[in-house]
Amino acid sequence: MRRTLDVEESRQNKLGTWPVGKLLLSMTLPMMISFFIQAMYNVVDSIFVARISENALTAVSLAFPMQMLMHAAAVGIGVGVNAGAAGALGVGDQKKAGRVAGTAIALDFCLMLLFMFLGFTAARPIYAAQTEIPEIVDYGASYLSIIWIVCAGELFGQLFEKMLVSAGNAFLAMAAMASGAVFNIVFDPLLIFGLGPFPELGIAGAALATVLGQILGAAVSLFLNVRKNPQLRVTVPDLRLRREELKIILSVGFPSMVTIGFAGFSNFLVNQVLLTYSTTAAAVYGIWAKLQNFCYMPLYGMNNGMVPILSYNLAAGRKDRVHRTFRLALSAALCLECALLLILEQIPRPLLYLFDASDSMLSIGIRALCVCILSLPFGGSTVVMTSSMQSLHHERNALFVNVLRQFVLIYGAFRILSEATQELEMVWFAVPASEAVCCIIAAWLMRKLYRDLGLRKEGRRNG
């Protein structure tokens, strides 16, 4: 009993009393690194798959929106647990925190059955609806069916990692996520090309390396929760869907689900616009989507560290710490994305060479990447602001911004520019234009949040 109290007291000292800068760095740096490594999943898949053929790369690009739907569900539930469990622990209610986590496990099991069914029945029809090229359909159906059928690692991995983060164990979560990512990076070429004793599986090998890496990451994070996370315990009676806990999870996590889910859906619709120009244009957009995801993954990691800090200190009435945490997180996001913009603008051709780009792809892709990269500071700022809205109980505003950013503005901009100009070079400006508009809207809503929560005075005080 004394040990449990000491652990909880130590955690309170960390989230409630550590200097904000040190706390944010300790909580977010491990998650930023792990998410950055995790972003290698899809990028590495595409780099090696491009060595098979451009049609194989196109197939993986067209699978990305479907993968994002599953990722949306996994991340949304994980974020909900992250904030819900952290809030419960912030007021000393360990039993409630366990019920929140148990409800999330039961919910993930239901989603696993759903995606397994889709993997067996929907993968080939989805591809057949997008293209009449048989090779792309065959490649895509093989890849997507494996990703969906063997989805347990993605769903439970995200959940168990967020359980570690919600209790302040960000370094352990980083170790779990990194283990799966490293496995995927190593086994991708082995299973795709049949190196050494491994069979040559082609595009199916890329999918298999991904899902096996996710399973490894989930297993490691589960082990670490059992052995190293005494303040968040889940009992057998907790493993069921409870209305109150489900409401807590979805109130915070649903905006994240919508964010990523709409990103997948709009990606699908944008591909339909680009396919009117060429399959190469769709492949280029797939490359950009994965590079963008790669650039934002450190921010998603930072948000996972930031959310429990905001939730804990808001529940504890420490508004000064809420303000300082948000200000530091936003400043870090802007610095990171501006640095990435300056670097990537210098190397669009080498980036495309990573994907074995043909002359046709280079002629389209260099212009596309140079334009799309301009969006990074705007999108990065919006990512931090919407996550802050979620953890500070302004979920509706976060949902509104996410729907605008991930669906309405981006797809609308692509459609309008395509219809108005009929020039592919101009269509790419849809990306930075939509991100800039959404960033302005998010900033206005954050000012409203500061007023509603009485944070404006704290902001001036800590100036």
Mean pLDDT over residues 249-269, rounded? 79
Average pLDDT, the chain: 85
Phi-psi region of 168 (alpha: psi -120 to 50; beta: other; left: phi over 0): left
**With contact defined as beta carbons under 8 Å apart, do 64 and 264 qualify?**
yes
Mean pLDDT over residues 216-228, rounded? 89
Mean pLDDT over residues 229-240, rounded? 76
Per-residue pLDDT at 341: 96
pLDDT tops 60 at residue 139: yes
How far is it, in rounded angstroms, from Cα 357 to Cα 263? 25
Per-residue pLDDT at 143: 94
Of 111-115, 291-295, 361-365, 373-377, the range with the lowest mean pLDDT is 291-295
For residues 56 and 11, the model is more confident at: 56
pTM for this structure? 0.75
How far is it, in rounded angstroms, from Cα 345 to Cα 18? 38
Confidence of residue 1 (pLDDT cuts 50, 70, 90): very low
Confidence of residue 10 (pLDDT cuts 50, 70, 90): very low
Per-residue pLDDT at 14: 67
How far is it, in rounded angstroms, from Cα 441 to Cα 123? 37
**With contact defined as beta carbons under 8 Å apart, do 8 and 231 qualify?**
yes
What is the biggest distance separating any 2 CA atoms in the chain, rounded to whole angstroms?
70
For residues 390 and 289, the model is more confident at: 289
For residues 182 and 82, the model is more confident at: 182
How far is it, in rounded angstroms, from Cα 334 to Cα 60? 30
Confidence of residue 3 (pLDDT cuts 50, 70, 90): very low
Q: Pseudo-torsion of CA 99, 104, 105, 111, nearest 10°?
A: 150
Mean pLDDT over residues 430-447, rounded? 95
Tens-place pLDDT, residues 288-345: 988 998 898 888 878 877 877 887 888 777 788 888 888 899 999 999 999 999 999 9
For residues 92 and 283, the model is more confident at: 283
How far is it, in rounded angstroms, from Cα 27 to Cα 11? 12
Q: Letter for the amino acid at 253? A: G
Per-residue pLDDT at 456: 58
Retrieve residue 180's tokens.
Answer: 């799966």
Burial 240-259 (b: 16+ CB within 10 A, else e): eeeeebbebbbbbbbbbbbb
Mean pLDDT over residues 197-213, rounded? 93
How far is it, in rounded angstroms, from Cα 216 to Cα 453? 41
Domain borders along the chain are 2-458
How far is it, in rounded angstroms, from Cα 279 to Cα 260? 24
How far is it, in rounded angstroms, from Cα 123 to Cα 145? 6
How far is it, in rounded angstroms, from Cα 181 to Cα 166? 21
